[in-house]
């Protein structure tokens, strides 16, 4: 069993203060620097889903989600990268011996994956010959281990596998030109005929080999939650900005400051109420599902449906909130350099993710009425 390694005395507040100074750097270079990923590790982000038996400090989902939300208030891209600290729950499906090797140097492991499009991998005597190019590997520049998607087979019920590789086995192609989450480093991964042993592959959402509470929480629902809560942080930043600016700035025409205008006060208050309501629902169902896990019972299909529904609704509401704040903010908000334009792009991304798209409403509604989900990978 691994010895628990204490992180340096770095608090999340310390990390957020540094992030405030460096977020433009990450945006300009299009990725979060490896040394700052190290700071996130020191604050405990990347041991939050490592099994206790390997020295981790697995957090209750709501606690981890609140941490990601706080980071995202300062910078959505860094919150997005930090959110994949939860992705180690996927790796709990690896053989125990593989996990022991993975965490041999300590519990703070940063995992990033470019899982799609799934690429063919020829079976070998001991595993798979991996070859191809994958997209959207968020956080890959600071990762200790990388995953790529390969086809499943009869042993996986057709579900794709993820093959794990070390960074030196992968070429990172810095192709990432987007309007939002510019600093996530969601680059392409290229692998040139590398043999990956079967024991270094897993099924995303597969049966865990580690029996600890976090790995009994719905894996795919958690994956959607950590992304949705990034949007919530971005929306909070927009609301805070609008409140501060509205309280003290007059218009360029000499008109009354925004806080003296009824439409601004009303619109901002409605946006606060709407956003806080979606957030409350999100954390309410998270806590309910976690209490079910702690009681030793499986999370029921209707609870999983609420987790997916609350995540989709939060991401959608967050994007709408930032749009609404811009609508209230007058001509100044149209400038490309305006802070709200940064937040608008970042808020767009979570709701565009496949885990959080409009189809999730239909799937959740079906399950809540006792029917099978209408999309694959829902539970």
What's the pLDDT tens digit per position in 4-18? 445 457 899 999 999
Give 248 or 269, the one with higher predicted confidence: 269
Strands 121-123 and 161-165: unpaired
The sheet with strand 161-165 has its strands ordered as 111-114, 145-150, 161-165, 201-203
Q: How confident is the model at residue 3 (pLDDT cuts 50, 70, 90)?
A: very low
Residue 34 CA to residue 14 CA, distance in Å, equals: 17
pLDDT tens-digit readout, 325-371:
999 998 888 988 899 999 999 999 999 999 999 999 999 999 999 99
Burial class (CB in 10 A: 0-12, 13-18, 19+), 360: buried
3-state helix, strand, coil in the chain (%, to 5): 55, 10, 30
Q: Are 194 and 171 in contact (CB under 8 A)?
A: no
- Following DSSP, what letter does each residue of 48-116 receive, concatenated? SSS-GGGT--PPPHHHHHHHHHHHHHH-HHHHHHHHGGGGHHHHTTS-HHHHHHHTTT-S---EEEE-B
Q: How confident is the model at residue 1 (pLDDT cuts 50, 70, 90)?
A: very low
Tell me the fold of 217-368.
Answer: Butyryl-CoA Dehydrogenase, subunit A; domain 3 (1.20.140)
Residue-level pLDDT at 155? 81
Positive/negative CA dihedral, 222, 227, 228, 233? positive
Residue-level pLDDT at 252? 53
The average pLDDT across 129-144 equals: 98
Least confident of 116-130, 253-267, 282-296, 362-376: 253-267
Residue 166 CA to residue 146 CA, distance in Å, equals: 6
pTM score of the predicted model: 0.94
Q: Options 3.40.30.10, 3.30.470.10, 3.40.640.10, 2.40.110.10; which CATH number does 111-203 get?
A: 2.40.110.10
pLDDT tens-digit readout, 209-262:
999 999 999 999 999 999 999 999 999 999 999 999 887 655 555 567 888 899
Q: What letter does residue 356 receive in the DSSP assignment?
A: G
User: Residues near 251 by Cβ (< 8 Å), separated by ≥ 6?
Assistant: 257, 258, 330
**Domain ranges across the chain:** 12-102, 111-203, 217-368
Tell me the fold of 12-102.
Answer: Butyryl-Coa Dehydrogenase, subunit A; domain 1 (1.10.540)
| pLDDT above 70 for 2 | no
The average pLDDT across 132-154 equals: 96
111-203 and 217-368 share one fold: no
Q: Are 333 and 340 in contact (CB under 8 A)?
A: yes
pLDDT tens-digit readout, 317-326:
999 999 999 9
């Amino acid at each position: 069993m691994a010895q628990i390694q204490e992180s340096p005395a770095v608090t999340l507040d310390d990390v957020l203060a540094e992030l405030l100074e460096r977020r433009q750097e990450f945006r300009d270079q299009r990725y979060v620097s490896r040394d700052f990923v190290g700071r996130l590790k020191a604050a405990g982000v990347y041991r939050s889903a490592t099994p206790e038996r390997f020295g981790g400090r697995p957090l209750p989902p709501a606690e981890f989600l609140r941490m990601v939300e706080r980071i995202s208030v300062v910078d959505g891209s860094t919150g997005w990268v930090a959110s994949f600290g939860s992705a180690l729950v996927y790796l709990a499906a690896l053989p125990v011996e593989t996990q022991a090797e993975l965490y041999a140097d300590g519990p703070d492991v940063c995992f990033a994956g470019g899982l799609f499009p799934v690429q063919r991998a020829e079976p070998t005597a001991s595993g798979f010959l991996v070859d191809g190019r994958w997209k959207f590997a968020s956080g890959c520049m600071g990762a200790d281990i990388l995953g790529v998607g390969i086809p499943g087979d009869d042993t996986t019920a057709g579900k794709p596998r993820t093959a794990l590789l070390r960074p030196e086995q992968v070429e990172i192609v810095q192709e990432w030109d987007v309007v939002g989450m510019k600093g996530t480093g969601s680059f392409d991964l290229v692998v040139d005929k590398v043999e990956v042993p079967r024991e270094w592959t897993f099924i995303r959402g597969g049966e865990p080999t580690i029996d600890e509470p976090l790995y009994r929480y719905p894996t795919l629902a958690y994956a959607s939650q950590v992304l949705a809560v990034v949007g919530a942080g971005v929306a909070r930043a927009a609301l805070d900005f609008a409140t501060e600016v509205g309280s003290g700035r007059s218009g360029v025409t000499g008109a009354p400051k925004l806080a003296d205008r009824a439409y601004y006060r009303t619109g901002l208050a409605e946006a606060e109420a709407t956003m806080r309501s979606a957030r409350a629902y999100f954390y309410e169902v998270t806590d309910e599902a976690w209490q079910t896990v702690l009681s030793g019972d499986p999370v029921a299909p209707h609870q999983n449906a609420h987790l997916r529904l609350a995540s989709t609704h939060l991401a959608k509401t967050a994007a709408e909130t930032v749009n609404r704040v811009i609508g209230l903010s007058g001509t100044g908000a149209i400038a490309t350099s305006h802070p709200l334009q940064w937040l608008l792009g970042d808020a767009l991304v979570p709701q565009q993710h496949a885990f959080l798209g409009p189809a999730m409403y239909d799937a959740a509604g079906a399950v809540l009425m006792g029917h099978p989900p209408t999309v694959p990978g829902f539970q």
